[in-house]
Chain A
């Protein structure tokens, strides 16, 4: 009986995913929905390293950027399909995760968090000065005939919506199976007590690296999607430190280390940013930032463990 409730809730959620576009027919709400699932997916990616394994990354936007630029460069300069570009981006992001993680995960404490800020900034500066990649101007993707094969659609946002929902469900599934597997237990053990974990035979450096690679891969896929969706990328829209921080805020709001935490966080956070930007951003006084900073503070004070707990059994005290 008790185990059926989450299943029913998930099926309902799934139906909503499919039928949302029938309710929201105009472009703007559809755009917001797409951004919600884009950010939810990035949040899931961040949650694996930051929430489960407890290694806070402020550089995940670098993977987003690598994903976006890999497919964009391959398409613009070599005419290679963005779907192939997506895979290349995934491989490069995984490589970057190893290059950053391998030396950092030897050290305990906050070195990793600091290093990720530095790496994120280095990657961004590199792209800002790399002429082949459009430097500060960025890359305009060529307008091709709309088709799934070309990963471009011009008459409606609907196909993009269904693609991002598929990517989102994929990431959710990866996270779900990770959580249930040995990796998931090990990640949480490492977060709880690294010394205790290695006394039980866990190679913590290796498992932190696994978590970071998973995180990088999921975030990189989001980057490619973004490039194909907006069709214009530049360094500050794809790898800014602010984006890394937003991803982490989404997970913190929703619930750290909870499967659906990032989803909840994105559902609250993304419409808020989009709406405040549309209605208040044009005044140019940064009202949008002030409003959502306020909301984040309220949540942080009222429910420091994130909102997801509100729905879980332990929060209702029935355990």
Chain B
């Protein structure tokens, strides 16, 4: 019994648009799951459903055995689900330290304890020398890292990272990958949404592919990139020629 998250036949509609259509999967404790798919596939919507920013129209979500499908974001966080946002949502007027403290306060009521914990986490994320900087003065890449840091400060068991590697250069992607592995070592289970394939393919234990609101494939990174449906979703029918190129670039 090491199933941490069970997603059962969930459907989320926006008016007539089915952003998530009958999606099911299971996440085991300690895994890194990659969630990929073309633009508009419904990845962020799926995150919002798991984090209860949206409540699903159909289906159920279980976290550690309890049904969270109609829960709220704050209750989910208290249960142990942390998340970041695709479009950064740091507390801009607050310092780096204060941003992380907001997360730390969840399990440490006293400001002194929250501060100590936030400093430890800041060090892990390379913010030790930027504690007193306003979050708005950081680069976007740093702000994304800060979002991960403050989510980690809530002691999550499951962390949902939405495109934290987008817009990073090769070196930064490498650092980001190392950071994800460090989080895994801390016992955190992760679901990553990424377009940056080289980042995700090397570390994901399993990859789930969405297209047009539906789950079209699931499996090891190697299986998934050789899957016909996936190639079709990414490149369309006419681009079979590109297939070899695509596969080699990832490996």
**Which residues of A are at the interface with B, using a C-beta cutoff of 8 A?**
180-182, 185-186, 188-189, 191-193, 195-204, 319
Contacts and interface: CB of A to CB of B under 8 A. Distances in A.
Given A182-B109, A188-B91, A198-B77, 16 more contacts: A185-B98, A186-B102, A189-B94, A191-B93, A192-B91, A195-B53, A196-B147, A199-B51, A199-B53, A200-B77, A200-B106, A200-B150, A200-B153, A201-B78, A202-B102, A319-B132
Given A185-B111, A203-B74, A204-B74, A195 B89 contact: yes
A287 B241 CA distance: 80
B85 interface: yes
Contact of A185 (B77, B90, B101): B101
Contacts, number: 73
A52 to B, nearest CB: 11
Contact of A188 (B93, B111, B132, B151): B93
B94 A188 contact: yes
A191 B77 CA distance: 19
9 contacts: A185-B102, A185-B111, A192-B94, A199-B77, A200-B106, A200-B151, A201-B77, A201-B78, A202-B102
B101 to A, nearest CB: 6
B114 interface: yes
A199 B105 contact: no
A180 to B, nearest CB: 7
B93 A202 contact: no
B91 A199 contact: no
B111 A199 contact: no
Interface string B88-104: 01111110001001110
Contact of B74 (A180, A188, A202, A319): A202
B72 A198 contact: yes
Interface of B: 51, 53, 72-74, 77-78, 82-83, 85, 89-94, 98, 101-103, 105-106, 109-111, 114, 132, 147, 150-151, 153-154
B111 A181 contact: yes
Q: 7 closest pairs, A vs B, by CB?
A: A201-B77, A192-B91, A196-B89, A201-B106, A198-B73, A189-B102, A198-B74
Contacts of B91: 188-189, 192-193, 196-197
B177 to A, nearest CB: 23
Contacts of B132: 319
A189 B98 CA distance: 9
B154 A192 contact: no
Contacts of B74: 198, 201-204
A182 B114 contact: yes
Contacts of B78: 201
B151 A199 contact: yes
Contacts of A198: 72-74, 77
Contacts of B147: 196
Contacts of A193: 89-92
B94 A196 contact: no
Contacts of B105: 182, 185-186
